[in-house]
Amino acid sequence: MIKAVVFDFDGLTLDTESSWYESLKQVYTKYGVEFPEESFFQTVGTFDGDFKPYQFLSNALQGTPDSESLKEEVHAIFHDIMSQKQLREGILDYLESAKKLGLKIGLASSSTKSWVESYLRAYGIYEYYDCIHTSDDVSRVKPDPELYLLALRSLGVEGHEAVAFEDSLHGLHAAKAAGLYGVVVPNAVTHHLPFTTHDWKLASMADMSLAELIQQIEAASASIHQE
């Protein structure tokens, strides 16, 4: 029986990932340098990637501008884009439905606590969560399962009693490794990635109610155990 849901933040709750992608690409284009998309995609859902976009671009430009100046340019564009950004379609309905269904609600993010909580408060959804765990709380972020294992302990549930909602491969791998059911809801940046280990895939959380989704997951699980 499902007792809890755990949501990712960047790209799933609020699509910051597409905004970073667009911001970086604009600055790379400005300086006539091809944006290394594959390297960027490998960093989605984790902060442990080797790709350093500002240093990469600065090196391509022989150090002028330096990486810090390029970072400031990208961040200015990013914040302009984010000022007009809405929560991803369906996430608010899922949070409200989880409360009505009596489910515990967690958040597991590879970003910092200050980053995540500032947005949760700005969008008025901070109070929905029973636990919020970020990179500040663990030694290893996604795809390592540590964040999800910590969320399970905080919520007082087992992996098979919780559903994780993710938009990236790193996040999905982390959730599955921790024993949760994995629902993937790709965004504009991650929709082309080769998701194969998910239990369910949605183009949008508005496509299916949370109650129906949980019912489908529980039915599929029961069917497998009966075989």
Q: Please identify which of the residues 10, 144, 167, 199 carries the catalytic annotation.
A: 10
Instruction: Give the gyration radius of the chain's Cα atoms.
Output: 18
Closest of 29, 169, 18 to residue 86, by C-alpha:
18
In the numeric block, the tokens 């998701």 are attached to 195
Residues whose CB falls within 8 Å of the CB of residue 180, separated by 6 or more in sequence, listed in order:
6, 148, 152, 159, 160, 162, 163, 164
Q: What single string gives the DSSP state of each residue in 14-75? A: B-HHHHHHHHHHHHHHHTT----HHHHHTTTT-S--S--HHHHHHHHTTTSS-HHHHHHHHH
Q: Please indicate whether residue 66 is annotated as part of the active site.
A: no
Residue 50 falls in the annotated catalytic set = no
Residue 124 DSSP SS3: coil
Residue pair 183/198 in contact by the 8 Å Cβ criterion: yes
Which are the catalytic amino acids? Answer: 8, 10
